[in-house]
Structure 1
Amino acid sequence: MSRRTPRLFAATLAVAALALGACAEKTSNDTPAAGGSSAAAAFPVTAGKLTLEKRPEKIVSLSPSATEMLFAVGAGKQVTAVDDQSNYPADAPKSDLSGFQPNAEAIAGKSPDLVVLSNDTNKIVDQLTTLKIPVLLTPAATTLDDTYQQITDLGALTGHPAEAADVTRKMKDDIAALTKDLPQRAKKLTYYHELGPELYSATSKTFIGSIYALAGLENIADPSDADGKNVGYPQLSQEVIVKANPDFVFLADTKCCKQTPDTVKARSGWAAVTAVKNDQIVALDDDVASRWGPRVVDLLKAIVDATAKVPA
């Protein structure tokens, strides 16, 4: 997916990985890839509805979030191909395979012994199953528990259960540390999360919205008459945003669409918005803000760090 469009946001955001933008700089929260397996790992292993008789050594990942999870649990050396949007970590073996329009023949050409997908477009799971290729479906997370479960499943299926447990434990510890001393505010700070300059946003019922809720923020997209299909990704109007007067604007379209604090300040009619007046426009990394792997901790940290500067 090269550019964002209204159709993309209305349909894809709610059901698939948002694999957009360039690779972010590695942070200290990332778990390094490793080739070894957990000493206690034994096969056959069952996770979800999939049973593997032996450890997979030729994994194809068609989900950027799953790619990040696989490398985080130490299965990076087992990954032989990833989709064209999997750009993190930098050494992931990127290919021209598509996770949004998967092609069974092209995938089979990689001779995988495990394929990881985030959605079942074109009934690709049935197609690959017919070819006797094991498939794990890891749909877009709606809660952090979904993320933890997917990491656990991938760790088990790749022979890295202990490493997966370490990753989820560290995520939980880091999130607890980031949220335990949040200031007690008489009135919650409000925010607008921008997915694209067409003013698409995300409600609190989405995975992204749940991360903001951890930071104690109130979402101006809740409730939204614009969310007519109730998918959680409404297209707001400029009038609605200006009237809501958010304390913060968080930009998740800095790479795809070149949005910056300056471009927001230049928007007609936005000068009176509190976020603009107080220089509280936060440029996020598109990828970190659109995936549900271990780097959600980095997203939460960016939110908490930005809002902590406002006196309680």
Structure 2
Amino acid sequence: MFRRTPRVFAATLAVAALALGACAEKTAETPAPSGSPTAAAFPVTVGDLTLEQRPERIVSLSPTGTEMLFAIGAGPQVTAVDDQSNFPADAPKTDLSGYQPNAEAIAGKEPDLVVLANDTNKIVDQLTALKIPVYLTPAAQTLDDSYRQLTELGTLTGNTDAAADVVQRMKDDIAKIVAEVPQRVQAPTYFHELGPELYTATSKTFIGSVYTLAGLENIADAADADGKSAGYPQLSQEVIVEANPDFVFLSDVTCCQQSAATVKARSGWSSINAVRNDQIVELDDDIASRWGPRVVDLLRTIVEATAKVSE
């Protein structure tokens, strides 16, 4: 997923109905799973895409795709990533844009596979015309979507076993974390902030489903009951104050310099439970907007931050 300015970011999500995409707990980079690619498994087919040989020059224009590729052990096959792919640190970052992809610039990297998150400017048709294979992997709507994308990338890159290991580890870790969620008489409420303009996400989105796993209740659900905001409504200060959330989660820390201090300084917010009880959680912007293996870290952060609330 990509980070954008709050207005463009949220508006794009609402139009596309896609679920997204550094000052919270920093996550250690997890070594890639063991297991080497094998050329013997080729050719392979995923959807309409068939690869005759194992790709050795992969270009990823999706930060989530980049994280997935490295997690499944395909990092050595990745030769270029977009300007927003900053994890892992050794990913071969370039000035290629995933927002405004340029077919000629991409072709200049001589890729034998391009991983995209969206089809901006009909880039898929352009690359296909240049006989460059493309795997289009839109933002996941559910955890199952993330598992499927990891599995498909494993197939396409010859890292099938390693991808299966990553998926199973994610499932096991998530199950363990969910099992540790306290049993409560009433679920704590929360507001998840995408940007200081107060765009947020409902329970119907990917990020909202993660909070549901953590046993929390979303104050934004009522604001998009008719679905017109595609799960990403903009709330007013008055609505948030009246809803009085127990927690405020900030995913606009790095992009927009928001913090517990800036939230506490907002006019009228001093009466909110989250402010009064010092329950404002600063998330890592990237982890809170990319639906790859680090979703486990996001869920763990949310559960740990809310564990002290028993009722």
- TM over 0.5, yes or no? yes
Partner Cα separation in structure 2 for residue 311 and residue 214 of structure 1 = 16
Please give the root-mean-square deviation of Cα atoms over the aligned residues, in Å: 2.2
Cα shift at 1:24: 8.0
* 1:193 alignment partner, SS class: strand
Residue 49 (structure 2) aligns with: 50
The total of aligned residue pairs comes to 309
* 2:253 alignment partner, SS class: coil
Residue 132 (structure 1) aligns with: 131
Cα shift at 1:231: 1.5
* 1:271 alignment partner, SS class: helix
Is the Cα contact below 8 Å between 2:253 and 2:259 reproduced in 1? yes
Partner Cα separation in structure 2 for residue 9 and residue 253 of structure 1 = 12
AA in 1 matched with 2:142: T
Distance change in 2, residues 1:290/1:51 (3 Å): same
Listed as ranges, the matches of 1:86-101 within 5 Å are 86-101=85-100
Cα shift at 1:49: 2.1
* 1:263 alignment partner, SS class: helix
Residue 60 (structure 2) aligns with: 61
- 2:84 is aligned with 1:121: no
Residue 159 (structure 1) aligns with: 158
Listed as ranges, the matches of 1:70-85 within 5 Å are 70-85=69-84
Residue 235 (structure 1) aligns with: 234
Partner Cα separation in structure 2 for residue 85 and residue 134 of structure 1 = 22
Cα shift at 1:311: 2.5
Partner Cα separation in structure 1 for residue 171 and residue 264 of structure 2 = 36
* 2:173 alignment partner, SS class: helix
AA in 1 matched with 2:285: D
Moved more, 40-49 or 266-275: 40-49
Cα shift at 1:230: 3.0
Cα shift at 1:148: 0.2
Is the Cα contact below 8 Å between 1:226 and 1:235 reproduced in 2? no
Partner Cα separation in structure 1 for residue 34 and residue 88 of structure 2 = 15
* 1:101 alignment partner, SS class: coil
Large movers: runs of 4+ above 6 Å: 21-24
Partner Cα separation in structure 2 for residue 43 and residue 246 of structure 1 = 52
AA in 2 matched with 1:52: L
Listed as ranges, the matches of 1:17-56 within 5 Å are 25-27=26-28, 30-33=29-32, 37-38=36-37, 42-56=41-55
Partner Cα separation in structure 1 for residue 240 and residue 197 of structure 2 = 12
Taking CA–CA contacts closer than 8 Å with sequence separation of 6 or more, which of the two structures ends up with the larger relative contact order? 2
Residue 217 (structure 1) aligns with: 216
Is the Cα contact below 8 Å between 1:23 and 1:287 reproduced in 2? no
* 1:230 alignment partner, SS class: coil
- 2:108 is aligned with 1:109: yes
Partner Cα separation in structure 2 for residue 91 and residue 22 of structure 1 = 20
Distance change in 2, residues 1:5/1:252 (3 Å): closer
User: What are the Cα deviations for residues 199-257 of structure 1, in whole angstroms up to 9, with x where unaligned?
Assistant: 01001111100100111111000021598733111111000000000000000001001
Distance change in 2, residues 1:156/1:99 (3 Å): same
* 2:80 alignment partner, SS class: strand
Cα shift at 1:310: 1.3
Instruction: Flag the structure with higher helix content.
Output: 2
User: What are the Cα deviations for residues 284-310 of structure 1, in whole angstroms up to 9, with x where unaligned?
Assistant: 000000000000000000000011011
Identity across the alignment (%):
70
Residue 288 (structure 1) aligns with: 287
Distance change in 2, residues 1:158/1:2 (3 Å): closer
Distance change in 2, residues 1:54/1:35 (3 Å): farther
- 2:8 is aligned with 1:7: yes
**Contiguous gaps of at least 5 residues in structure 2:** none
Is the Cα contact below 8 Å between 1:45 and 1:53 reproduced in 2? yes
Residue 182 (structure 1) aligns with: 181
Is the Cα contact below 8 Å between 2:154 and 2:161 reproduced in 1? yes
User: What are the Cα deviations for residues 100-128 of structure 1, in whole angstroms up to 9, with x where unaligned?
Assistant: 11111110010000000000111111110
**Contiguous gaps of at least 5 residues in structure 1:** none
AA in 2 matched with 1:116: V
AA in 2 matched with 1:207: F
User: What are the Cα deviations for residues 61-95 of structure 1, in whole angstroms up to 9, with x where unaligned?
Assistant: 00000000000000001000000000000000001
Distance change in 2, residues 1:64/1:22 (3 Å): farther
Partner Cα separation in structure 2 for residue 130 and residue 101 of structure 1 = 18
Is the Cα contact below 8 Å between 2:33 and 2:162 reproduced in 1? no
Partner Cα separation in structure 1 for residue 51 and residue 41 of structure 2 = 10
Partner Cα separation in structure 2 for residue 93 and residue 268 of structure 1 = 44
Partner Cα separation in structure 2 for residue 272 and residue 59 of structure 1 = 51
Distance change in 2, residues 1:36/1:77 (3 Å): farther
Partner Cα separation in structure 2 for residue 225 and residue 165 of structure 1 = 36
